[in-house]
Amino acid sequence: MLSITQPSKSILLILTLILALHACQSDHAHNTQGKIATSVSKAPEEKSQSKRGKVTINEEPTAPEIPTLLGHYPAYAKNANLYEVNLSNYTPEGTFAAFIEHLPRLKNMGVDVLIFLPIYNNSNLINVNPELGTIADFRLLVRAIHKARMKIVMSFADLQFLDLDNQQKRKEVMDAMKYWTNSQDIDGYYITDADQISESFWSEVHTALINTKQDILMLAGSQVQSLKEKNYFHADTGDELYSLLLDIATRKKRPKDIVNWQSQNRRGKNKGFQIQYTSKSDVNNSKGPTNKTMGPAHNALAALSYTLGDIPMMYGGQEEPVTRKIGLDKGTPIGFDKYLMEDWYQIIFKTKHMNQALWNGDFGGEVEWMQVDDQILSYKREKNGQVAYCIFNLSNTPATFQSEIEVKRLMDVFNLRVVDLYQGTKILLEPWTYKVYSNI
Asked if residue 58 belongs to a domain, the reply is: no
**Residues 327, 321: contact at Cβ < 8 Å?**
no
CATH number at 433 reads: 2.60.40.1180
What is the β-pairing status of strands 386-393 and 46-49?
Answer: unpaired
Asked if residue 174 belongs to a domain, the reply is: yes
CATH number at 155 reads: 3.20.20.80
Return the number of other C-beta atoms located less than 10 Å from residue 203's C-beta.
13
Asked if residue 134 belongs to a domain, the reply is: yes
Report the predicted TM-score, pTM, of the whole model to 2 decimal places. 0.86
Q: Are residues 398 and 359 in the same domain?
A: no
Q: Are residues 281 and 208 in the same domain?
A: yes
Within 13 Å and on the Cβ side, how many CA atoms surround 199? 8
What is the β-pairing status of strands 55-58 and 46-49?
Answer: antiparallel
**What does the chain come to in residues?**
440
Per-residue pLDDT of the chain (440 residues; tens, 9 = 90+): 544 444 444 445 445 544 444 444 444 333 333 332 222 223 233 333 334 434 333 333 344 455 589 999 999 999 999 999 999 999 999 999 999 999 999 999 999 999 999 999 988 999 999 999 999 999 999 999 999 999 999 999 999 999 999 999 999 999 999 999 999 999 999 999 999 999 999 999 999 999 989 999 999 999 999 999 999 999 999 999 999 999 999 999 999 999 999 988 764 456 899 999 999 999 999 999 999 999 999 999 999 999 999 999 999 999 999 999 998 888 789 999 999 999 999 999 999 999 999 999 999 999 999 999 999 999 999 999 999 999 999 999 999 999 999 999 999 999 999 999 999 999 999 999 999 999 99
What is the β-pairing status of strands 69-70 and 73-74?
Answer: antiparallel
What Rg do the C-alpha atoms of the chain give, in angstroms? 21
Asked if residue 408 belongs to a domain, the reply is: yes
Residue ranges making up the domain that contains 159: 69-365
Q: Are residues 88 and 139 in the same domain?
A: yes
Q: Are residues 306 and 417 in the same domain?
A: no
Asked if residue 223 belongs to a domain, the reply is: yes
Q: Are residues 338 and 427 in the same domain?
A: no
- From 341, 365, 389, the end of a domain falls on 365
Domains: count for the chain: 2
Asked if residue 279 belongs to a domain, the reply is: yes
Asked if residue 63 belongs to a domain, the reply is: no
Q: Are residues 359 and 376 in the same domain?
A: no
Q: Are residues 199 and 214 in the same domain?
A: yes
- From 310, 343, 365, the end of a domain falls on 365
- From 338, 365, 392, the end of a domain falls on 365
Asked if residue 106 belongs to a domain, the reply is: yes
Q: Are residues 75 and 177 in the same domain?
A: yes
